[in-house]
């Protein structure tokens, strides 16, 4: 075990992982990379541009971006207070509430869609009230898509933000209170900035999840071009009628998600701010 290693590559030797681990990791990398490489290889690049700019593709793309951004906004507006309550208040049954709020994370999304029917559908618990009060029908509507995406995506944000809130030194907020800050002022000026990296990471993850949401959307909101047919639905349906278009749309989705994940790592998770006295 404690054999002395003397040589010029001493530090390099210490940092290099064992060969077996390297090999297995390489297999894992290939496991992730191959499907995407395969996809790129299959794409009919000659027609890519025309396939991508067909009205149906553009409609689906626009709808997907709109609905996923709405879902992200709703996730932030409702998810941050939820995470706050889960992280800070020890009420009886908190663990149950917490599990409940994160259930859609592990549920098959189709089940999520069915459950949404049971609550907000026409014959659901709230369906009639929603219609009576707001004249609103959620199934088969764009609002229904946003609802389904929010249902599936919000737990990602809640998890990240809750972890950040738990990791926060509460004395910082205490200090703010003793300095004359109300709870709300302390939250806005002290807590929120402190959890900002986690909030951004959580929001981006929720957004990516909303963008890729399929099961709950098609179950709850159906599939109608321009109204509820998002990119993933469009890809799924095009697979049968127009595989080339499906591939091109898939590549666009992958490119968007990949870009977001890359920027997330570099800007917010990796080298955290070391912006000292540069002013």
Pick one of 177, 226, 258, 263: the residue that binds other proteins (CB under 8 A): 177
CB atoms closer than 10 angstroms to residue 89: 8
> Does 34 participate in binding other proteins (rule CB under 8 A)?
yes
What b/e sequence results for 28-64 when a residue is b if at least 16 CB atoms lie within 10 Å of its CB, and e otherwise? eeeeeeeeeeeeeeebeeeebeebeeeebbebbbebb
What b/e sequence results for 231-261 when a residue is b if at least 16 CB atoms lie within 10 Å of its CB, and e otherwise? bbbbbebbeeebebbbbbbbbbbeebbeeee
Instruction: Name the burial class of residue 119, with classes exposed (0-12), middle (13-18) and buried (19+) by CB atoms within 10 angstroms of its CB.
Output: middle
The residue among 101 and 147 lying less far from other proteins, judged by its C-beta, is 147
CA distance 219 to 217: 5
> Does 180 participate in binding other proteins (rule CB under 8 A)?
yes
Pick one of 39, 125, 126, 175: the residue that binds other proteins (CB under 8 A): 175
- Report whether 142 contacts 92 (CB < 8 A): no
Contact range with other proteins by CB under 8 A, out of 25-33, 75-83, 154-162, 261-269: 25-33
| Interactions with other proteins, residue window 63-82 (CB under 8 A) | none
- Report whether 156 contacts 102 (CB < 8 A): no
| Cα–chain center distance at 234 | 20
For residue 182, the minimal CB distance to other proteins (Å) is 6
Biggest alpha carbon–alpha carbon distance for the chain: 80
The residue among 29 and 262 lying less far from other proteins, judged by its C-beta, is 29
> Does 40 participate in binding other proteins (rule CB under 8 A)?
no
> Does 158 participate in binding other proteins (rule CB under 8 A)?
no
Per-residue x/- mask for other proteins, residues 84 to 123, rule CB under 8 A? Answer: ------------------------------x--x---xxx
Contact range with other proteins by CB under 8 A, out of 1-9, 187-195, 200-208, 250-258: 187-195
For residue 102, the minimal CB distance to other proteins (Å) is 25
Site residue total, other proteins (CB under 8 A): 58
For residue 141, the minimal CB distance to other proteins (Å) is 9
DSSP of 16-75, one letter per residue?
A: SPPHHHHHHHHHHHHHHHHHHHHHHHHS-HHHHHHHHTSHHHHHHHHHHHHHHHHHHHHH
Pick one of 5, 9, 10, 16: the residue that binds other proteins (CB under 8 A): 16
DSSP helix/strand/coil, 215: helix
> Does 232 participate in binding other proteins (rule CB under 8 A)?
no
CB atoms closer than 10 angstroms to residue 181: 16
| Interactions with other proteins, residue window 197-216 (CB under 8 A) | none
- Interaction site with other proteins (CB under 8 A): 12, 15-17, 22, 26-27, 29-31, 34, 114, 117, 121-123, 139-140, 169, 171-172, 174-182, 185-186, 189-190, 193-194, 196, 218-219, 221-225, 228-229, 233, 236-237, 239-241, 243, 274-277, 279
């Amino acid at each position: 075990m404690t054999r002395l290693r003397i040589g010029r590559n001493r530090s390099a030797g210490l940092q290099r992982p064992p060969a077996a681990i390297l090999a297995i990791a390489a297999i894992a990398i290939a496991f992730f990379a191959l499907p995407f490489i395969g996809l790129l290889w299959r794409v009919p690049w000659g027609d890519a541009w025309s396939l991508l700019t067909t009205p149906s593709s553009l409609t689906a793309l626009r709808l997907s971006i709109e609905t996923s951004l709405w879902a992200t906004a709703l996730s932030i507006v409702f998810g941050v207070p939820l995470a706050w309550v889960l992280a800070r208040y020890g009420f009886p049954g908190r663990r149950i509430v917490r599990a409940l709020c994160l259930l859609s994370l592990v549920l098959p999304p189709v089940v999520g869609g069915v459950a949404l029917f049971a609550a907000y559908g026409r014959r659901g618990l709230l369906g009639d009230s929603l219609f009576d009060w707001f004249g609103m029908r959620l199934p088969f509507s764009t609002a229904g898509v946003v609802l389904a995406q929010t249902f599936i995506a919000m737990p990602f944000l809640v998890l990240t933000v809750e972890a950040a809130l738990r990791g926060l030194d509460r004395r910082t907020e205490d200090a703010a209170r003793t300095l004359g800050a109300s709870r709300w002022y302390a939250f806005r000026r002290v807590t929120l900035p402190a959890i900002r990296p986690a909030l951004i990471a959580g929001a981006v993850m929720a957004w990516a999840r909303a963008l890729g949401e399929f099961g709950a959307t098609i179950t709850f909101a159906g599939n109608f071009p321009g109204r509820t047919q998002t990119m993933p639905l469009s890809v799924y349906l095009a697979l049968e009628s127009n595989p080339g278009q499906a591939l091109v749309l898939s590549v666009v989705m992958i490119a968007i998600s990949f870009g977001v994940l890359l920027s997330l790592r570099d800007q917010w998770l990796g080298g955290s701010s070391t912006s000292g006295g540069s002013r």
